[in-house]
């Protein structure tokens, strides 16, 4: 088990990550003092840029592994996925913290961030998104408290969290379905602006559904990287089993997408040769159909390289979809131009560097990864492994 001491190895790669975080912190301070115009290329035509399009929309989707894994493990009682549950929770928690930070950065008058807590805009989709993300992040922090107090001994607080854990798990599954779908609802009002290949009244469904099937793929990538970094055996049987969930959900996603295009009479636009149609075809063929086939072929999904490659395609595909909705699909109607400034890129890089450093620190000090030898035993997974200081 983990000792009571704290440890964090310093390597050249981690030093680079720390430098990136410091640069981002300085640039963020400059942005808070001098405003968005001082560090971004945002304008009246493009009020949402890299921070909302990638860090928020993609970050929330990439963090979907937390609620999808919780649903599978704690509601459907598929205990064979228990070994990856804590890692999924940690990744999700850090992803949501990054998303909240990006949201704060993108608010013009950031010092008014507290107003939604007291001035309730019931008719705003963004109001619901803000509240759901804030509450869900708080719930994840409380859920992580159960792990935290395994190392930091405080029996009374751990006992209280133990009483709360079941309602927290329920809320932790329900809330993401609300705000994941609401993020899609934001673009329903852009009926005359978003290109018809992406606009749909089913956007809320597509957003929450894709966030769900993204979860197992994200857990596979994260688990593989962690196993490489710490010299462990990857939980390949768990990854292989999760491909069934992803495969069937992606097949349903693709079928409903095609039915929706046909119903709205815009299916032919996918082949009109425009930039938008080409991007849509890439999204569907490379990032939806190809991973479905790779997951379906036993000789591919039974190999680590195969399941990881297909999972990377799934993750990139969901990011590609969100980028198409926010940028490609809107470009023709809003006019003007936007390309992120160097400072926007540096702040984004710094936030994701912080996520990586936080993940490494927590994994090396708390019982996140299952003990080797217990990883593949169904409901008896125990956590903890020794990492050299």
Cα–Cα dist 349/340, whole Å: 12
Structure letter (DSSP) for residue 371: P
The structure tokens listed for 92 are 């999700």
For residue 248, CA distances in Å to 27, 254, 264 come to 44, 10, 24
In a domain, 377, yes or no: no
Residue 383 CB-density burial (10 A; 0-12 exposed, 13-18 middle, 19+ buried): buried
Spell out a b/e string for 130-164, using b for 16 or more CB atoms within 10 Å of the CB, else e.
bbbbbebbebbebbbbbbbbebeeeeeebeebeeb
Q: Which residue has the tokens 């598929």?
A: 78
Number of C-beta neighbours around residue 290 at 10 A: 16
In a domain, 295, yes or no: yes
Residue 115 host element (H or E): helix 115-118
Q: Which range of residues forms the domain containing residue 137?
A: 41-337
Q: What is the pLDDT of residue 386?
A: 46
Distance CA 227, CA 34 (A): 43
Residue 93 lies in a domain: yes
Residue 291 lies in a domain: yes
d(CA 259, CA 265): 10
- Count structural domains, the chain: 1
Domain with residue 188: its CATH number is: 1.20.1630.10
Full pLDDT tens readout for the chain, 389 residues: 456 678 888 899 999 999 999 999 999 999 999 999 999 999 888 888 888 888 888 888 777 777 778 778 877 777 777 777 888 888 888 888 888 888 889 888 888 888 888 888 877 878 888 888 888 888 888 888 888 888 888 888 888 888 888 888 888 888 877 778 888 888 888 888 899 999 999 999 999 899 888 888 988 998 898 888 888 888 888 888 888 889 999 999 999 999 999 999 999 999 999 999 999 999 999 999 999 999 999 989 888 999 999 999 999 999 999 999 989 999 888 877 889 999 999 999 999 999 999 999 998 898 887 766 554 544 445 555 444 43
Residue 383 has φ and ψ, to the nearest 5°, of -115, 150
Q: How far is the first Cα of the chain from the last one, in angstroms, to the nearest whole number? A: 14
Is residue 350 one of the residues assigned to a domain?
A: no
pLDDT, one tens digit per residue, over 9-21 is 889 999 999 999 9
pLDDT at 388: 41
What is the secondary structure of 310-367 as a DSSP string? HHHHHHHHHHHHHHIIIIIHHHHHH-S-----HHHHHHHHHHHHHHHHHHHHHHHHSS
Residue 326 token pair: 């926010």
Q: Domain for residue 24, yes or no?
A: no
Q: Which residue has the tokens 């063929």?
A: 285
355 in a structural domain: no
Q: Please indicate, yes or no, if residue 323 is contained in any of the structural domains.
A: yes
């Amino acid at each position: 088990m983990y000792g009571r001491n704290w440890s964090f190895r310093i390597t050249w790669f981690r030093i680079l990550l720390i430098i990136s975080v410091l640069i981002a912190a300085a640039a963020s301070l400059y942005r808070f003092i001098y405003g968005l115009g001082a560090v971004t290329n945002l304008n009246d035509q493009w009020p949402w840029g890299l921070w909302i399009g990638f860090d928020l929309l993609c970050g929330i989707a990439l963090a979907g592994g937390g609620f999808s894994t919780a649903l599978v493990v704690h509601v459907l009682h598929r205990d064979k996925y228990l070994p990856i549950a804590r890692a999924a929770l940690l990744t999700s928690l850090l992803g949501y913290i990054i998303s909240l930070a990006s949201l704060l950065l993108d608010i013009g008058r950031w010092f008014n961030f507290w107003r939604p807590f007291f001035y309730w805009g019931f008719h705003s989709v963004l109001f619901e998104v803000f509240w759901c993300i804030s509450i869900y992040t708080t719930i994840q922090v409380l859920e992580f408290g159960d792990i935290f107090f395994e190392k930091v001994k405080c029996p009374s607080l751990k006992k209280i969290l133990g009483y709360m854990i079941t309602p927290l798990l329920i809320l932790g599954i329900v809330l993401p379905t609300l705000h994941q779908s609401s993020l899609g609802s934001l673009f329903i009002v852009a009926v005359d602006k978003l290109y018809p290949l992406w606009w749909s009244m089913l956007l809320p469904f597509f957003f929450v559904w894709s966030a769900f099937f993204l979860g197992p793929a994200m857990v596979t990538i994260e688990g593989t990287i962690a196993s490489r970094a710490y010299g462990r055996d990857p939980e390949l049987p768990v990854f292989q089993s999760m491909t069934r969930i992803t495969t069937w959900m992606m097949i349903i996603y693709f079928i409903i997408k095609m039915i929706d295009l046909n119903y709205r009479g815009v299916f032919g636009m996918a082949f009109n040769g425009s930039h938008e149609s080409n991007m849509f075809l890439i999204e569907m063929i490379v990032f939806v159909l190809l991973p479905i086939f790779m997951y379906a072929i036993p000789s591919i999904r039974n190999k680590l390289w195969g399941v990881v490659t297909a999972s990377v395609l799934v993750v990139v595909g969901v990011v590609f979809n969100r980028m198409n909705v926010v940028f490609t699909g809107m470009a023709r109607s809003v006019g003007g131009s936007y390309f992120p400034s160097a400072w926007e890129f540096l702040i984004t890089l710094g936030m994701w560097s912080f996520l990586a450093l936080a993940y490494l620190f927590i994994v090396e000090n708390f019982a996140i990864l299952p003990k080797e030898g217990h990883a593949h035993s169904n409901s008896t997974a125990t956590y903890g492994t020794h990492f050299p200081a």
